[in-house]
Amino acid sequence: MKKGTLNPNIKLKLSLPPPDEVYFAKFLTQSGTFMDGDLLVNRDGVRVVSQSESEALNLADIDTIKVIGKGSSGIVQLVQHKWTGQFFALKVIQMTIEENARKAIAKELIINQSAQCPNVVMCYQSFYDNGAISIILEYMDGGSLSDLLKKVKTIPEPYLAAICKQVLKGLLYLHHEKHIIHRDLKPSNLLINHRGEVKITDFGVSAILASTSGQANTFVGTYNYMSPERISGRQYGSKSDIWSLGLVLLEFATGQFPYSPLEQDVGWASVYELMEAVVDQPQPCASSDQFSPEFCSFVSSCVQKDPNDRLSANELMTHPFMNMYDDLHVDLSAYFKNAGSPLATLNL
């Protein structure tokens, strides 16, 4: 962007040092600077800055508030920028890696940072230091849809359609614009906020973990939502995420993961029993006694064992389920708030 022209998506950029170009670069990588856009504000006024000047959001500039989540790959903390008061989520993944793997990770993290879509969690900055990857993410004050489901038990169809539309917009962006496969779409990777927004997070992270030597065989995430072609070790593409989306929707609608173990009271004998069920059993579907024909058809357009039989994110956007409840104008913000936001920013 040329200096002097204002970007319509402009955000404020706060900086403590005077706007001296020489000092500026130095200060950016040290302390007191917040990178988030094209406008620089300091005691000498406001000016437009170029993307190349936008450097780091530094770990030294943030205070830890509390741990807000523990995932399979590490912990997530609520942090606050010292100078602007803005909240972020800091995800720390512990891993010991070699030089080559570090390069691959750096590449993946840069892709993460370049993703900009209202339905994808913003990744502001990432670092590798001392055996840990730290990723500074947009803070989503409603937590995840997995947290929400524990409270509401099931999500009624009109809300589900509104949630699904936002997830699909995120997937559409990742698949068709960025050509990224998420690989680990699941309820805990769908985050919500008080504005009623739903955003996909953690794309790229599973790719990093999978591609890192030494970690490749120690996948500690969940296989639950993994497509049959991935489980069988066949080639897979973006339709693999569509399978996961279908299972996630079924779980939200019924309150239960769609596959159940042979001995229900004992649980899954091993992860292999679950994987076998996904590969060998017929695909699950939504019951037409309980759900609308549109919802049943939507789920069945996602949950097909042959990826060629699944619709793409683009095709699903025009599925009748997407618009059937539009007249109700459902208020997701109120729905999330009534369910009790687990991480209200104001009640720290």
Site for ligand ADP in 170-209 (CB under 6 A): 188-189, 191, 201-202
The contact pattern for ligand ADP, residues 13-52, with x = CB under 6 A and - = no contact, is ----------------------------------------
Structure tokens at 192: 């919500």
Q: Which of 24, 120, 143, 192 binds ligand ADP (CB under 6 A)?
A: 143
CB 27 within 8 A of CB 35: no
Binding string, residues 242-281; x marks residues near ligand ADP by CB under 6 A: ----------------------------------------
Q: Which region, judged by CB under 6 A, interacts with ligand ADP, from 46-54, 126-134, 138-146, 269-277?
A: 138-146
Residues with Cβ within 8 Å of residue 330, at least 6 apart in sequence: 158, 159, 161, 162
137 scored as a contact of ligand ADP (CB under 6 A): yes
Bridge partners of residue 192, in order along the sequence: 198
Q: Which is nearer to ligand ADP, 74 or 246 (CB)?
A: 74
Biggest alpha carbon–alpha carbon distance for the chain: 70
Nearer to ligand ADP, 82 or 194 (CB): 194
Among 35, 40, 79, 89, binds ligand ADP (CB under 6 A): 89
Our answer to whether residue 265 is catalytic in this structure is no
174: DSSP letter: I
Considering the candidates 38, 141, 184, 202, report the single residue annotated as catalytic: 184
> Which DSSP letter does residue 129 get?
E
Give the orientation angle of helix 239-254 with respect to helix 145-152, to 10 degrees.
20
Q: How big is the site for ligand ADP, counted in residues (CB under 6 A)?
A: 23
**Strand intervals (E) in 95-131:** 123-129
Are the CB atoms for 206 and 184 separated by under 8 Å?
Answer: yes
Does residue 112 contact residue 157 with C-beta atoms inside 8 Å?
no
Task: Enter the tokens of residue 45.
Answer: 């006024």
Our CB check for ligand ADP shows the closer of 212 and 283 to be 212
Q: Does 284 bind ligand ADP (CB under 6 A)?
A: no
Rg, C-alpha atoms of the chain: 22
* Residues lying near ligand ADP in the complex (CB under 6 A): 68-69, 71-74, 76, 89, 91, 121, 137-140, 143-144, 146-147, 188-189, 191, 201-202
| Residues annotated as catalytic (active site), given as ranges | 184
